[in-house]
Amino acid sequence: MRVRNKYRKPTAFPCNAGSRCSMSAVVWSLVGFLLVLHMYSRFSNINAVNGDIQLRMSNHPLVHELEQVEKENIQIPHRKGKRSPRAAKRRPKRTTTLIDEFLDENSQLRHVFFPDMKTAVNPIKDSGNDSYHYHPGRIWLDTEGNPIQAHGGGMLYDERSNTYYWYGEYKDGPTYHAHKKGAARVDIIGVGCYSSKDLWTWKNEGIVLAAEETNETHDLHKSNVLERPKVIYNENTGKYVMWMHIDDANYTKAAVGIAISDYPTGPFDYLRSQRPHGYDSRDMTIFKDDDGVAYLIYSSEDNSELHIGPLTEDYLDVKPEMQRILVGQHREAPALFKYQGTYYMITSGCTGWAPNEALAHAAESIMGPWETMGNPCIGGNKMFRLATFFAQSTFVIPLPGIPGSYIFMADRWNPADLRDSRYVWLPLIVGGPADRPFEFNFGFPLWPRVSIYWHRKWRLPLSWRASK
């Protein structure tokens, strides 16, 4: 999460001596214009075909409400007061953007990104019409009235108890910098776990894997880093298995940790950490396929690519097979899901705690090849879409009974006070017109589009809750 991604498009134009090459410039412009015209007519044909696909795929009555496009019209305020040092350092001279406002603790827009406790979502209070509504970015209280602490989280649906378990980083401690150039951090407290039947009312099940207070050489010593815990259930062993990113404060250890429990609510026994397949591993997730085979997916080679490989039958180790995917694309925060035999993945770019553009990827085989489709975000405004609604992917929850519908789980990090980071949950729908590949390629399969719809508030269809 620390390695900054520096894309630089080549901008060199062959002509730099003014008028001498103006003739060739005219000719090339003409050629370019004809080429664009030709491409445009090809695309309009393809889009006509996609229109039909859209009609067939996204007309499930339950999802219409979720697919409403909701716009945001946020004006960047005129600056009067001082900017925080953090924001000033980031962009010293350029005009301010919404991302600068987002990172500026003194911004007049602070309440837009981090609404205060007065607006907190409180499932215990009789919320009237607001019951079951998700409010992305607002404080979300558990059944005891405390803000939910499950950042970089993942969801386990436990079929034996028909219960959802939400695991994440419990970050309710002070944010500080371990040294001058270090990233903002909170000492490890542990992995928090919350349970729910309706995905809205969450009961705190406590810290299911706790930090080590005294033993400094232990992976879980509070001075280290524990991120993105994910839990799956192993039918063969009857164990709940947790995988997580384990690191030191400087992110040089770059390993995965594994823990195990007999119960979804722990306590989990920490087994060990390792560098999977011998490679550095930072942001990661695990994915359990329909056939019971589970996979580890992790950012590697200094976050420049992802690696994917199957776990052993007991889910406690990786098998030797591994594929390098999205090589050179610098992606992190992977979240996988599967729909109608196709695998999908949402990733973020690598800009530390600052938000950036999400991309959707698809593959016919989980081991690849994976293709990058494009930005899945819809609605809000352009800046919202380019910043993944000011959040970073962490998990995608399937909604049984509504084919092609999911909840996109993301974190709106607050680097000034990480414990106050927010959750952005939004509907994710697979269907509709195919995305155009990044590099135009006629051999490219026409994947259905993955769409994440912005909503200031929304809820799951009534019939979904009734079926719980």
Ligand X SMILES: *[C@@H]1O[C@H](CO)[C@@H](O)[C@H](O)[C@H]1NC(C)=O
Note the residues at the interface with ligand X (CB under 6 A).
128-129, 179, 215, 217-218, 248-250
Q: Pick the closer one to ligand X by CB: 178 or 367.
A: 178
Q: Which residues pair with 299 in a beta bridge?
A: 306
Q: How far is the CB of 225 from ligand X (least distance, A)?
A: 10
Pairing relation of β-strands 359-363 and 342-348?
antiparallel
Report the residue number, 185 or 331, with the smaller CB distance to ligand X. 185
Q: Which is nearer to ligand X, 248 or 317 (CB)?
A: 248
Q: In whole angstroms, give the CA distance from residue 235 to residue 184.
A: 39
- As measured in angstroms, the least distance from the Cβ of 447 to ligand X is 39
- For residues 76 and 178, which CB has a smaller minimum distance to ligand X in the complex? 178
CA distance 178 to 251: 12
Instruction: Give the residue at shortest CB distance from ligand X.
Output: 128
Closer of 89 and 125 to ligand X (Cβ): 125
Query: Please, which residue, 21 or 249, has the CB nearer to ligand X?
Result: 249
Q: 186 or 232: whose CB is closer to ligand X?
A: 186
- Taking alpha carbons only, the member of 417, 435, 289, 454 closest to residue 359 is 435
Two tokens, residue 168: 């994440």
Q: What is the nearest approach in angstroms of ligand X to the Cβ of residue 54?
A: 32
Least distance to ligand X, CB of residue 441, Å:
43
The CA distances from residue 272 to 211, 295, 392, in Å, are 14, 18, 27
Nearest distance in Å: CB 459, ligand X: 13
- Give the shortest CB-232-to-ligand X separation in angstroms: 24
Q: Please say which residue, 101 or 187, places its beta carbon nearer to ligand X.
A: 187
Write down the least CB distance from residue 261 to ligand X, Å.
18
CB of 457 to ligand X, least distance (A): 12
Q: Give the residue with the Cβ less far from ligand X, 83 or 135.
A: 135
Beta carbon of residue 79, minimum distance to ligand X (angstroms, whole number): 34
* Token pair belonging to 247: 């690191």
